[in-house]
Amino acid sequence: DQQVKQNSPSLSVQEGRISILNCDYTNSMFDYFLWYKKYPAEGPTFLISISSIKDKNEDGRFTVFLNKSAKHLSLHIVPSQPGDSAVYFCAANTNAGKSTFGDGTTLTVKP
């Protein structure tokens, strides 16, 4: 049973437009959510996070939205830039510190 799902394996957007990456989860015990970005041949790097007591967190061009009732979170990147092209993983944490990752979405931003 996959507790964290990223249903879109890939997403392609034009430079300057908005990129929206989605993530769904099933475990209501998750109380902290993170997004990681991964370039080829590198390890994932932390991008942005959100606590379950919030519904939005913003950091520059990146905003994460959390809808607890729908068990859904999304990452918005605006404006998208070619350097944003990477694989994006969402991860969900329990307060015991265990992280569960989704399978990732490959974002391609076209110039």
Residue 34 CB, shortest distance to other proteins, in Å, is 6
Least Å distance between CB 17 and other proteins? 26
DSSP string across 5-29: E---SEEEEETTS-EEEEEEE--TT
* C-beta closer to other proteins: residue 78 or 101: 101
Residue type, 22: N
Q: How far is the CB of 29 from other proteins (least distance, A)?
A: 10
CA 72 – CA 91 distance, rounded (Å): 12
Binding stretches for other proteins (CB under 8 A)? 6, 30-32, 34, 36, 41-46, 49, 51-52, 89, 91, 93-104
Q: Which is nearer to other proteins, 16 or 101 (CB)?
A: 101
What are the strands of the beta sheet with 19-25, ordered from one edge? 4-5, 19-25, 72-77, 62-67, 56-59
Q: Please identify, using beta-carbon distances, which residue of 14 and 27 lies nearer to other proteins.
A: 27
